[in-house]
């Protein structure tokens, strides 16, 4: 009986540890609600399903314990597939993927607004650090190693 209890306790502990090793990603709708409760900086990550560097960052930089801890403690972390066909409600507005009507891999309005460069192109992965007033403070349009990610999210 003690052995079964010990095994269950060990499994529960491992489950709790595993949960802490992941970034607590939220959607833009959840961000809207969260900002009404507590105002803090936001890390936005735009990715696509076909982006090799996005997948590599998901496996490496976003699994780094220091990155996970810092992001979960100090930011709201929003992860969004830039090609989603979902309508997204944010700050009283509805955003859609208008390009999906005419392009195979159309980009949603939100990444077009937040992640476009001067020539109106969006590349992936894209990371944005927004301050408490939702102003863009840092942007990255390339693959980030764990070390570079730590620099991006550093206070």
pTM of the full structure? 0.84
pLDDT in tens, 66-122: 999 999 999 999 999 999 999 999 989 999 999 988 888 899 999 999 988 776 688
List all residues 6 or more positions away from 30 whose beta carbon is below 8 Å from its beta carbon: none
- Answer whether the bond into residue 125 is a cis peptide, omega within 30°: yes
Q: What CATH number should be reported for the domain whose range is 21-153?
A: 3.40.30.10
Answer for the pair 42, 76: CB distance below 8 angstroms, yes or no. yes
Q: What are phi and psi of 121, to 5 degrees?
A: -105, 150
Helices (H), strands (E): how many in the chain? 6, 7
| Extents of the domains making up the chain | 21-153
pLDDT in tens, 19-73: 468 999 999 999 988 998 999 999 999 999 999 999 999 999 999 999 999 999 9
């Amino acid at each position: 009986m003690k052995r079964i209890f010990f095994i269950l306790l060990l499994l529960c502990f491992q489950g709790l540890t595993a949960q802490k090793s992941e970034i607590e990603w939220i959607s833009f709708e959840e961000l809207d609600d969260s900002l009404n409760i507590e105002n803090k900086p936001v890390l936005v990550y735009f990715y696509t399903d076909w982006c090799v560097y996005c997948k590599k960052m998901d496996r490496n930089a976003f699994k780094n314990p220091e990155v996970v801890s810092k992001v979960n403690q100090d930011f709201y972390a929003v992860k969004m597939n830039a090609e989603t066909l979902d309508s997204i409600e944010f700050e009283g507005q509805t955003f859609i993927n208008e390009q999906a009507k005419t392009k195979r891999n159309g980009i949603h309005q939100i990444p077009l607004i937040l992640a476009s460069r001067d020539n109106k192109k969006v590349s992936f992965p894209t990371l944005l650090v927004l301050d408490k007033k939702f102003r863009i403070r840092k942007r990255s349009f390339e693959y980030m190693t764990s070390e570079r990610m730590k620099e991006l999210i550093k206070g």
